[in-house]
Chains A and B, each alone.
Chain A
Amino acid sequence: MITIDEWKERLESEKCYDLVCEIYDRIEKSKLNAYITLCKDLALKEAEKYDKGQKSGKLAGIPIAIKDCISTKGIRTTCGSKMLENYIPPFDAHVIENLKREGAIIIGKTNMDEFAMGTTTETSYFGVVRNPYDLSRVAGGSSGGSGACLGGDEAVLALGSDTGGSIRCPASFCGVVGLKPTYGLVSRYGLIPYANSLEQIGPMACSVKDLALLLEIIAGKDERDSTNAGREFKFEYCSKKFKVGIVKEMGGNEEVNSRFEEAVEIIKNMGFEVGEVSMPSFKYALAAYYIIATGEASSNLARYDGVRYGFALEELDSWTKYFSKVRSLGFGEEVKRRIMLGTYALSAGYYGKYYLKALKVRTLVKRDFESALAKYDLLISPTMPALPFKIGELADPLTMYKMDVNTVPINLAGIPALSLPAGFIKSLPVGIQIMGNYFEESKILSFAMDLEKVFKEVF
């Protein structure tokens, strides 16, 4: 794992061009399948510019990987789907504009679950992403490529997107840091949506310090996203001994729980006040999440009809037959399953029974968080209830959905949450989740920074 400081140190004596070449050599030999599209020519040109002293900014010369659901002007953006296999966006996402302004070098577009629908990156049209610590296991999802490329030294920074845990899960599985920002902190302009009301683009990195810097750069005002809060983010370290609450309803299997308990002991020993909170609404959260997410998705994905861009058929037919065929051939199984689920949930006669109920649960989850965060500065839990799975292990969709149990309540409420590595169990990474109040990313990052130091020594 390469931090920005380490990369910068090497830049003092070596050429950026050579360092970037080294990254591409590693990617080309890699078995991780972290990338869908590489932009080597472009990246090397940028590296050369850096060597000539023509690049400036906070991320000048730093290689970054971008999840393939974030639009990049002139660079293919597939969303992990056959449907967008040949789609080249004519515009940059807000976050990409910011990265370019700060001089970052885009290495490529990372592999992901098709349209971000998955927890393992097994639903990608471009093949599964393998875990950098065990090639027979998954890297998590849906931002699996972004997690794996950091774990495998194939980039220094990465962007992911998180609709129900899609940044935190691969961060946990790949032993890196990942943050889902407060809803509205980072503009979604250019993010190809899965479930608009739940998701945020977020930073992934090899250290909390790098994560904070990347968040500063991608956050901020953007009028093109009406749900953007119009706030800038500036990380301010705070050494306060926060009050930390353990969420009773969030847990994991035995291995995960025992590591989490060890972590709690360490936190106590560090002088933080630790208590327990209960969130009664959480037992409905997973169901509510899947209704809202698939409902929005069923509508978002309606535009892929083979008319304007992406996957199209050679043979023409009547309109109804044509678009039906395009959609049955262009989408994968999991995507079709979620479109069907969402369509059903929004249908006349079921809307009140499912969708409106789900919105009510959402309100309850928000309230539970609000009252817990009135008592505690931060909340903690294991990020994932289990260690990285074997590829193909989660064949049953419902078992897979259940893996999101600790992560989805955060998206329902819109609060920020970070996954921090807490060492390894049987050589596999494990992560703990730190949650905070709206726009209190600085608290989360400060706490994570303190823990990071200790965890590295202990675990």
Chain B
Amino acid sequence: MDVIIGLEVHVQLNKLKTKMFCPCSIDYHGDEPNTHVCPICLGMPGAMPVLNKEAVKAGIKVALALNAEVQPFMVFDRKNYFYPDLPKGFQISQYDHPLAWGGYLTIETDEGEKKITLKRIHMEEDPGKLSYKGSITTAKYSLIDYNRSGVPLLEIVTEPVMNSPKEARLFLNKLRIILEYLDVFDGNLEGAMRVDANVSVKGGGRVEIKNISSFKGVEKALTYEITRQKNLIRMGRTVKRETRHFDEANNITVSLRSKEEEQDYRYFPEPDLVPIYAEELIEEVKQILPEMPEEKRERFKKQYGLSDSFAKVLVMDIKMANYFEDVAKVVNPKLAASWIVDVLRGELNYRSKDFTFAYEKLKPEEMAKLLNYFENGDITEKGVVEVIRTKLDKGGNVDKIIESKGLFAIPKEEIERLCIEIIEKNKKAVEDYYAGKKQALNFLVGQVMKATRGRADPGETAKIMRIILDKK
């Protein structure tokens, strides 16, 4: 293979209530800086870490879902380095006794399914966050917000098995889906997932790109970096082993330090924490492990008779899958699936919203009611779309929207009556029709539509009109 990529993904377990080693709340987004802090996460002298057991449980959940071997014996270590956002001068992490070894995750590439194998998964604490007044280059000093300090993190390290930026993106998307299934992660929160990527091109040294803070960033950074390395090789120059930084604003990578300057983290066991014997905890977590995307996909096909393509899309987002099941309780599941996947998902995307928004604005019961009307022929396809849009944008009651917009479909008998009436009134058009002019039919149908102010279903009306004319 030409290109080899490995990822180190830092995932905030941001659905937990408290930090990794102190009782501070991690629900700090949007709050004043340095308001979710205590002596422990500020690294004050004499304060000691106390392990948040829920974080270990969440870690075990993720490791099990990623098919990794969860370790019954885990140790926390100190990773020593100086950085202003690191209050203790070391980060509590795991070194030779991590949460889990191995594991894998399957992605679907253009060439088919591909297994992305994992090296290890370990737990650690997030450092604080630096911010700058103005920009990083012009600010005279940096400010530090320790609200993030001590947030539980998982570091998921893949083997170097990806061969394109696109595969890296697919891996991250799949990982995000799984993490959200486990209810330990909210990918929408700022800083929820940060990635270090290792990339090498045949004939060159391995380059690490540090701290890419968005999904899109990963693909962009890798694409840039591969082009850069290939160009160097083409020009006969060497690609040296180094660490680079991704400049998100300019979409380029810049050199940070060479291999010789690599840090020595001087890992050693954290003496203020005791080792974890996790056997019981692992068993406990196994009992509460939720259904994962692949299982759900199979179940949707079996239980609801959905096609594979609908099932596959539905399970990509746990919230969408849940929404579907709520609607499918009441209406024909196949109908529900196609409306949710083909219409509602698009309408939400268009508004940059997800199914959390749908749960708020168009509850599954309301969606079900709407689809029932449609199935009974009480409302047209166009009408359904109209109601969905109105609900998402303005809210309101489904029946009232249909009523006020006059969206209830016209009964068949009424359309037949109108067709006869229109034929009577438009002799010329009828003659044209018999003379073989196709547009004449369109004109006649248009007259019915006009009379019903668009409430009649045009396809249905055309069918009825033709039957009546042909009978004559």
A126-143 interface (Cβ within 8 A of B): none
The answer to whether the Cβ of A192 comes within 8 Å of any Cβ in the partner chain is: yes
Give which listed residue, B42, B50, B83, B271, contacts A308 with CB less than 8 A.
B42
For B22, the closest partner residue in chain A by CB is A224
The answer to whether the Cβ of B44 comes within 8 Å of any Cβ in the partner chain is: yes
Give which listed residue, A195, A226, A303, A343, contacts B88 with CB less than 8 A.
A303
Determine whether the beta carbon of B44 is less than 8 Å from that of A346.
no
A417–B44 CA distance with the chains assembled, in angstroms: 30
Determine whether the beta carbon of B45 is less than 8 Å from that of A303.
yes
The answer to whether the Cβ of A406 comes within 8 Å of any Cβ in the partner chain is: no
A198–B45 CA distance with the chains assembled, in angstroms: 17
Give which listed residue, B47, B49, B89, B90, contacts A226 with CB less than 8 A.
B49
Known A90-B44, A223-B50; contact A302-B274, beta-carbon cutoff 8 A: no
* Shortest Cβ distance from residue B52 to the other chain A in the assembled complex, whole angstroms: 12
The answer to whether the Cβ of B423 comes within 8 Å of any Cβ in the partner chain is: no
* Shortest Cβ distance from residue B92 to the other chain A in the assembled complex, whole angstroms: 11
Interface centre among B42, B50, B82, B268 (most CB of A within 10 A): B268
The answer to whether the Cβ of B273 comes within 8 Å of any Cβ in the partner chain is: yes
For A343, the closest partner residue in chain B by CB is B266
The answer to whether the Cβ of A191 comes within 8 Å of any Cβ in the partner chain is: yes
Interface SS, A side: loop
Give which listed residue, A192, A299, A305, contacts B266 with CB less than 8 A.
A299
* Shortest Cβ distance from residue B104 to the other chain A in the assembled complex, whole angstroms: 30
Give which listed residue, B43, B45, B144, B271, contacts A71 with CB less than 8 A.
B45
A449–B242 CA distance with the chains assembled, in angstroms: 66
The answer to whether the Cβ of B232 comes within 8 Å of any Cβ in the partner chain is: no
A301–B49 CA distance with the chains assembled, in angstroms: 16
Give which listed residue, B51, B89, B267, B274, contacts A305 with CB less than 8 A.
B89
In this complex, the interface size class of chain B, counting residues with CB under 8 Å from chain A, is 20 to 34
B35-77 interface (Cβ within 8 A of A): 39, 42-51
Known A93-B46, A227-B272; contact A302-B51, beta-carbon cutoff 8 A: no
Number of interchain pairs (Cβ within 8 Å): 101
Determine whether the beta carbon of B48 is less than 8 Å from that of A188.
yes
The answer to whether the Cβ of B297 comes within 8 Å of any Cβ in the partner chain is: no
Q: How many residues of A contact B (CB 8 A)?
A: 46
The answer to whether the Cβ of B84 comes within 8 Å of any Cβ in the partner chain is: yes
- Give every chain B residue within 8 A of A298 (Cβ-Cβ): 80, 266
Determine whether the beta carbon of B89 is less than 8 Å from that of A303.
yes
A351–B80 CA distance with the chains assembled, in angstroms: 14
A90–B47 CA distance with the chains assembled, in angstroms: 11
Give which listed residue, B39, B90, B268, contacts A302 with CB less than 8 A.
B90
The answer to whether the Cβ of B364 comes within 8 Å of any Cβ in the partner chain is: no
For A197, the closest partner residue in chain B by CB is B271
The answer to whether the Cβ of A309 comes within 8 Å of any Cβ in the partner chain is: yes
Determine whether the beta carbon of B39 is less than 8 Å from that of A91.
yes
Determine whether the beta carbon of B84 is less than 8 Å from that of A307.
yes
The answer to whether the Cβ of A246 comes within 8 Å of any Cβ in the partner chain is: no
B interface list, Cβ under 8 A from A? 39, 42-51, 78, 80, 82-84, 87-90, 141, 144, 264, 266-268, 271-274
A interface list, Cβ under 8 A from B? 70-71, 77, 79, 84, 87, 89-91, 93, 188-193, 195-197, 223-227, 295-296, 298-299, 301-305, 307-309, 316, 319-320, 323, 343, 346-348, 351, 355
Could you pull out 15 A-B pairs where Cβ atoms are within 8 angstroms? Answer: A77-B45, A90-B44, A193-B45, A196-B271, A197-B271, A223-B50, A225-B272, A226-B274, A227-B271, A295-B268, A305-B82, A307-B144, A308-B43, A323-B82, A347-B266
With A71-B45, A224-B50, A299-B266 given, can you name 6 additional A-B contacts, CB distance below 8 Å?
A91-B39, A193-B46, A226-B272, A299-B268, A302-B80, A323-B84
